[in-house]
Amino acid sequence: MKRINLLPPEQRVKASRERGLLWAILVLVAVVVVLGLVYMWQGNQVNSKQAELDQLTAQVAEVQAQAAALQPYAQLQATRTAMTVAAKGIYDSRVSWSTILQEISLVIPDNVRLQTFSAVVPATMLPGTAVPPGTVPATTPDVTFSGMTYTHKDVAEFMTRLGLIPQLTNVQLSSSAGSATAGTTQSTVTFTVTASLRPYLTAPPATQLGAAQ
């Protein structure tokens, strides 16, 4: 059976408008609901991120507090390391007199007798020295030997053997004089020989740790 709309034309137009307005209101409400849901979701995300940020900030503050508490120990460790390095450098750059004397005892000729022996470490080889690198060394010898033998050839042999000792350099004859022994025909030669300590390849370390304190 065919349906017949008995409403006047103006009523039909009004009803159509009302239906359109109703659909528009429904669509607007749906949009508002969707926007509200999106806003709530974004708010939850912001709150979650803010909570994470607060937690990380608290952790950073805790780590910084621990680092500040450990700072004195770090300074002590740095000072200890600097002192260890300086001590090792001083030990490595020391003049081993025991080794030098042992080597002298091995190279001295049998007919040479030492009467005096004096030695001093030059200022340029002392740890923590104030003498700048490249300074002209002092004119006084580092090592001095005084003794006696029977011939000048023995003195020359002694000097040659001293030149074989790695720690010594610039071996020179300071004086040499012969004299006859009373009551005999045997003559003796008294001599003085000087030498220098071989300088280090690198300057000895300083003993002050001002930078590490």
CA–CA distance, 64 with 32 (Å, rounded to integer): 47
Q: Which residues are bridge partners to 144 per DSSP? A: 118, 194
Give, as one character, the DSSP assignment of residue 178.
Answer: E
Q: In what order do the strands lie in the sheet with 113-119?
A: 113-119, 143-149, 187-197, 168-180
Model confidence, pTM: 0.52
C-alpha span between 75 and 82 (Å, rounded): 11
pLDDT of residue 42: 87
pLDDT at 195: 93
CA–CA separation, 96 and 199 (whole Å): 13
**pLDDT by 10s per residue, the chain, length 213:** 555 555 566 666 666 777 778 888 888 888 888 888 888 888 888 888 888 888 898 888 888 888 888 888 888 888 888 777 777 766 666 778 888 999 999 999 999 999 999 988 888 777 665 455 555 555 678 899 999 999 999 999 999 999 999 889 999 999 988 876 655 667 889 999 999 988 876 655 555 444 444
* Whole-number pLDDT of residue 186: 72
Report how far residue 150's alpha carbon sits from residue 168's, in angstroms, rounded to the nearest whole number. 25
